[in-house]
Structures are given as structure tokens and as C-alpha cells.
Structure 1
């Protein structure tokens, strides 16, 4: 089927043999059909719709507005060379596109002869899921012969980031001494807590502000006391910095770590505190020596990590929760991958270990919680409900028999950690009164397990009695979101808080 058109707006569609009464010269057009550049007054006008009988059937003429015809012609002209050259795909580019397509599907056996391209061969077992994130969006653009082509920034789906090596650095602000260490407890700690074990004493809710100071230039994303003693406090922020503070001398900075090229998402100590792990939007997970400020391990993950944590009782192992709907489990000493856990349908936001570290919980944006046996890539329990909201943060109770989830409907829900109870939800026990919707707000317990603590999107910090679920105290801490809380392991009423204003608050 062909189409004919006149500059005055007539457009003829004719099938079979060419039928036209015009005396003008015609040129072939893929988009608009046959067209003429003649402006002769003898051009024959046709009606808007006229049936024409030919040997191959009955066809209809149609009228197109002149402006629409010119618009179609401009669109078509963009695809043709100005010199009228034939619009044929460059054979080299076409062959390259076919070859790349084969490499992305099942592979081209011919590339086995080329050492550089041998990695692209997948074999008959390959699938679309085997493609890397970068390959998924690769395209080959065909360029017509005799025509120059410039790729604009807007034509690419995703702009590649500059490839450069980020150099970590750290600075120590304390007094240098050959015999001293940051792990040494101050003298008043040695006297007051010589025989104290975390959770041994009764803890109380704080009443007054002890100290507040500017810790980061922007929001604080993670906050944690030094394990067992609590004489230091580790913080991370959106300013790409990690800082170690003294709690015996508030506002005193011990060491900072220029750690990542993009905002730091989460930090946490190892069980001994001699190392800590950090993860960032630069898609790296790093393990640091706390005292020396040196990076002992660095790994580039496949997508943004939301948190990373050491595996209990296994100091050489860690796990990272990724946006790519999976958890990666590594041995950072041998640099081996141990296991990958991937049964969620959306980004995984948190990992919490239960039952002595033999099992762990994953929270996800898909509004489910999953319980796993460690090193087994199959969840043993799905916690989901049609009315259940996403729970970005989960926290284990100090007695180990329960865990709580910070729900996006402004509630904190309670679940059992016992497998014989099928990790059942306690429908009669929940905590409310605060505002947590749309924010990943962390929670904490006093070491004796009697008080639950949570931040709030309105700048408050809430304290609930664990047994009665009633609000004990509500403190107005900031005008912005309080997203991080932690409780001192030995002091009976010292709580640290931080949030979107970049400050750290110590209440006692």
C-alpha cells in the first residue's frame, strides 16, 4: 500500500498499481508515502474521501491538513540524510548489535577464541537474571551511513559515575602516649563499675539534658555506645563522616574517619569494639580498626546497602542488607562469599540476630518479615498480613524471648523469637503514641529490659514500660526528626539521641 500527497494538503492512498492524475514529480517516503514538491496551479484537488477501484481491490482516498502533512514530513526528514543517500544501517554496527545480543542471552561460542571476550560466554544455562546491573541497560545505537551522530546526555538511561579511587583518612584528637589506648577505661569508670555487668542494676528514665553538641554537618544516621563499657560513642552522618566521641568528657572528639564518598548509612561495633563496620550510598562496605583508624577490609556490593552488621560469635563474618532484595553473607578475613539470602520482593532494610545468632530476622519494604537459619538460603518463617505495614527496623529484647518491629502505622509490634511458638505476634501487646510513619526510626531497650525507647518524627523521645505498654515519659529533644537512640550499658539513666539536625543529645 502506498500513499500520495500534495503540498496543498491532498493525500492519496492507493493500493495495487499506482493511480494518480498529477503531472508533478514524485519521491519515495517511508513515513508519508509518495510526495511531490510541485506547486503548480494545475494540481488536481480531490475530495476528502473517495472510493477508488483497482485490480487488487477497493481503496479510499483521505484528506490530511497541510500543517499535519508538513509536521509528518519534518519527522521523516530527521531520519533521512540531507544528500538523499540510502538509509541503510551500517553493516559493522549491525553485526556488533547482533553479537552483543548473543552475548547477553546464551552467549556466542565463537568468542571463546578471544581471551578478552571469553567472560561473556554463559552457555545454554544462562538467563536474563545473570546479567549485571550495568549490562542490563546497555544499548547499541545504529548509525546510518554517511551520517554523523552525537549521543546527548538526555539519550542515556543512566549516566555512569566517574571512576576514581576514594582515599580514606582518619585523624586522632586525643593526647598521644605510648602506653595508653582508647580502650582503657577512665579511673572513675574503674571505680564505679568494677563489678558491674550490663543489666545487673535497675535502670531509670532520664529527666534532664546532660549535654548537646553539633556532631555532623547534616543528619546523623547511626549512633552506638562502645560495647560493654560505653565510655565512647560512635556516630555517622550524611556528611560522609564517622566520628568517635568520649562520653566521660562530653563534646570531646577522640577520632574522626573520612570514610566514604557518599553519605554513611549505618555503623556498628564488633563484639569486642576493636573494629566497626560501615556501609554507604557509595555501595561499599568497610571494616575499620577503631583505634588506628585504618581500613582493614573493603568490599563493593551490587546495590545500596541499608545496613551491615557482624555475625554474633563469628568475628570474621558479616552480613549486609541491600536494596537489591537480598542479604549478602561474607567472611571478611578470607574475602569469601558464604551465602546469599534472596526471597524478599523489595529492598531489605534491617537484619537482627536472635536465638544466640543461629537465626536472624530480615525486614523489608515489601511489608514482610522473614526468619532464617544462618547459612541456609530458605526462610523458615514468613511474617505477613494483608493489613501489615512495613517495619524498617526490628530490635531484639534483652531477654532474647521477644523482638519488636517499628511499624509504619505509628505502632511498635511485639513477636516471639521461639520457633515452637511459630514466631507468633502478640496481638494484645503493642506500643503507640509516637509518630514514626515514613521514617526509619531506631529503637532501644534498657539493659534490664524494663523500658522500651524510640525516637519520633516530631522531635520527641518516648519511653514505655515493657509490661504495661504505657508511656512513662516523653522528652522534647529537637524540632526535627529524632531517628537514632541508644542506651548506655552501665550508667543507669544515660541515653544518647540524634536525628536530622546533626546534633547528639545526652540525657541523664
Structure 2
């Protein structure tokens, strides 16, 4: 029957207008919709995935590339008896089995899981471990034309002119060098090749002992006041205390973060400070191995720690471009300096007078701050003319306080007059950046430099 309606009305999904439609047209449309729905309701089945051991032919492995089976008239019967049921089950399981379990990969640069793997070892490699009286290299020689013990006196320093010896053992960049405290008859060097080496400064000038135990670059070393022990810090996140004579590792310390700088307190030799990559300064007791104080005010990785005021205070600098002064043992800064024109200061050296500290600033200059009560910058003292961009060359002051020296990214070692701030001399020390420089504590004009290639050069 045909129908016709005058009215129209609202429906839940909006507004609908009624219309005139013949019964045959309605039935035809209704059937078309029903047949579509029934076709879609039937589940399409895949062909069998095949056997993974068969490459070609019947039953060959198709895996996830198996095609869909064509519709068959008896598909409904198949469903009833489940003839293809196994295809669906196997398909799920096969897919899981086909994915091989990959071996866990290790990243050489960022994998810290194996930091405990290497045991600490030390080897004496010199020509003679004991002298005719049974003394080791710790004994200060007295058969030289220079007195290495007692008061230094008023010995004046001079700028070195020529190369007298090259020490070669390290395979990567020299990161720090230290003369034996007081006498300077031994030299300790740390390198990015994870090794630490002890050298003879006089006589044969040979390699005496190697210290192995760090798994990544050693970035700082520091002797205790009598030189019997030294502390090392490395990118493997460990700080280790070593016996200078036997090479034994006495203790190790870690917070799980990278230490950038370590300094033993000269007045309290069993305690040391470590400036960390996570903005903190840690104070450790080497006897108990415990952390006894934490200084947490910096906003960036700590770069330098310098003791001052007879070791009752210390100054720290950081990547946050600030300088902070602290009372030793009290975790609140007594002075905070952060000016808009300041750059981060990456290396430091105290002046022998005890009144000043020189800092290697990242804007290619050496700045000076007083290390007494006021901790103010000395604006008159600025040493320029060298290039440090991208590197952190060491800065060192001569034992008489007359000269200040620094490495340079162009391979130079530069010397300035402390009073006039004029550059005195510049030596081409290497064809790669010079990163380490130290004055001999007793000699008049002897300086050691270490470069990016791992060579140590002794100048006079």
C-alpha cells in the first residue's frame, strides 16, 4: 500500500520530515540493508600460516602474509564443525613465537652497570723498586744540587724557556697533574684513558707505578698533605683513595653521580670534599667511608673547590655562573656572588700569599677574587690573551706568587706577570690543546704541561 502523510515531527536525533514512498521501493531498500549486514557479520578467515621449515610449495610458510580465504557456500557449515578453528589459534601463537628475543644491547658511552667489574690493580714498572738501603721512591732524594726538604726560603721564580723531557704513557688526554707535596720529587698524572701514573721527576725520569681501577676517564686527583695517599675522581661515578707507595686502593666512595672535582682538606687529611654533577658538594670521612656533610646550594654542576683562610673556609664555583664561599662543615654559604657579566669558572688556583684565588673563566680570561672576609672580585686583575673556549685548561701560580700560567686551546702555555697583568711569555707546548699545567714547588723555573694527546712535557 502507498502511504502519504501531511505532518512532520521531532525524533530523538533531530527533526524529521515525513515523505511519500511506495511499498515496493521500501521493501527493496530494506532487503539491501539486511543482506549487507549479514555479509559483514560473517568472520573472514585466513589461510593456514604454513610450516616455517618449508620454504616453497604446498604448506610453505606464509606467516603474517597469509591471505584471506575466498567465501564458500559451505562457510556456515565450517563454522559449525570448527574445521578452520585451529587457524585462528595458531595464528595468535605463531606471531608471538616468530619474534626472536633480542639480546640486551649495551651502550659503551652510557652504560654504568659494569662500573664494579674492574678490580683495582697497581703495578710497579720502574727499573728498581728499592735502593741500596731498602728505601722506596717515597724517600726524598738528597743527592741533587737542589734542596727538596725544609723551608723553601725566598727563591725567586722565572719563566721557563726550553723543553727538557717528555713523559709518554697515557693514550688519551691528560686531565690533571700533581707534584708530590713539599718536595716535588714525584709527579702524578691522571688521564681520560682511565689510568693514573706516578713518575720520577729526577734521576731516570721514568714511569714508576701505574694505578688501574677506574672504568672511565679520571677527571681529578689530589694528594693528602704528606703525599702518602691520594684521591681520584672519575666519570665512572667513583672516587677512590689510593696508597701512593703500595698502589693499594684503600677505600671507594660513590653517590651514583659523577664527581667533577675532589680536594683533601690540608688541615684535616682524613676528610675530603667532592663537587658533583648534581649540584652538590659532598664531604667524606676516609676513615669510616661515610658522608658527613652535604652542601646543596648551587644550581649547576660544581667545577672548583678551593680551600682558603687556613683551610677553615672554602670557595666553590659552578656552571650556574656563581661563586659561593662556605665555612668548612657548615652547609650554608657565607657569601654568594652572581653578577650578570660573570661566566662559569672552570679551574682555580690559590695564590701563595693566601689572600687571593685565581679562576679560569669561560670568557677567555683569568679573574681574581680575594679569599679573605669580603670575597670580592679584584677588578684590576684580569689576565687575557689566551683562548680556553670549549676546554677547561688548568691555571697555576708560581710558588713565589710572581707569575700566573695557564694552558690554551691552541697548544700554548701562557705566562703573565701577577702584578702588571701583562703577558710575559707564550710557549708553543703542543699541537693540541694544553689542559694541565703545574709549577714545581721547589725549582726556580720548572713547569709541567699535559696536552690532549696524552703527552706530559717538562719545561725549564
- TM-score interval w.r.t. the shorter chain? 0.7 to 0.9
Contact conserved, 2:242 with 2:251, CA < 8 A, in 1?
yes
| Partner residue, 2:74 | none
| Partner residue, 2:25 | none
CA distance in 2, matches of 1:319, 1:339: 9
Q: Does 1:466 align with 2:418?
A: yes
Contact conserved, 1:309 with 1:318, CA < 8 A, in 2?
yes
CA distance in 1, matches of 2:222, 2:135: 24
C-alpha change, 1:401 and 1:163, in structure 2 (3 Å) is: closer
CA distance in 2, matches of 1:151, 1:425: 58
Contact conserved, 2:129 with 2:136, CA < 8 A, in 1?
no
Q: Does 1:393 align with 2:347?
A: yes
Q: Does 1:494 align with 2:417?
A: no
Shift of the alpha carbon at 1:344? 1.0
Question: What does the per-residue CA deviation read over 1:10-33, in whole Å, with 9 as the maximum and x for residues that have no partner?
Answer: xxxx989xxx968634999xxxxx
Contact conserved, 1:196 with 1:490, CA < 8 A, in 2?
no
Equivalent residues, number: 381
| Partner residue, 1:176 | 129
Gap runs ≥5 in structure 2 = 1-11, 15-31, 45-86, 90-94
Contact conserved, 1:465 with 1:471, CA < 8 A, in 2?
yes
Match of 1:374 among 307, 328, 338: 328
TM-score relative to the length of structure 2: 0.76
Contact conserved, 1:199 with 1:489, CA < 8 A, in 2?
no
Shift of the alpha carbon at 1:243? 0.6
Contact conserved, 2:223 with 2:230, CA < 8 A, in 1?
yes
Contact conserved, 2:274 with 2:282, CA < 8 A, in 1?
yes
Structure 1 residue runs of 4 or more that deviate by more than 3 Å after TM superposition: 20-28, 146-154, 162-165
CA distance in 2, matches of 1:163, 1:447: 39
Contact conserved, 1:242 with 1:259, CA < 8 A, in 2?
no
Contact conserved, 1:461 with 1:476, CA < 8 A, in 2?
yes
Q: Secondary structure of 2:189's partner? A: strand
What value does the CA root-mean-square deviation take over the aligned residues?
Answer: 3.2
Question: What does the per-residue CA deviation read over 1:417-436, in whole Å, with 9 as the maximum and x for residues that have no partner?
Answer: 121x3x11122220000001
CA distance in 2, matches of 1:450, 1:199: 15
C-alpha change, 1:23 and 1:271, in structure 2 (3 Å) is: farther
C-alpha change, 1:334 and 1:153, in structure 2 (3 Å) is: closer
Shift of the alpha carbon at 1:199? 5.9
Shift of the alpha carbon at 1:281? 1.1
Shift of the alpha carbon at 1:166? 1.9
Counterparts of 1:213-228 in structure 2, within 5 Å, are 213-228=167-182
Larger radius of gyration: 2
CA distance in 2, matches of 1:475, 1:15: 89
Contact conserved, 1:199 with 1:447, CA < 8 A, in 2?
no
CA distance in 1, matches of 2:243, 2:410: 36
| Partner residue, 1:185 | 140
CA distance in 2, matches of 1:206, 1:349: 29
| Partner residue, 1:337 | 291
TM-score relative to the length of structure 1: 0.69
Gap runs ≥5 in structure 1 = 1-13, 29-33, 38-81, 85-145
| Partner residue, 1:207 | 161
Contact conserved, 1:487 with 1:496, CA < 8 A, in 2?
yes
Higher mean C-alpha displacement, 293-302 vs 283-292: 293-302
Q: Relative contact order (alpha carbons < 8 A, sep ≥ 6): 1 or 2 greater? A: 2
Question: What does the per-residue CA deviation read over 1:227-278, in whole Å, with 9 as the maximum and x for residues that have no partner?
Answer: 1111110001111111110111354111111131111111111100000111
CA distance in 1, matches of 2:335, 2:174: 33
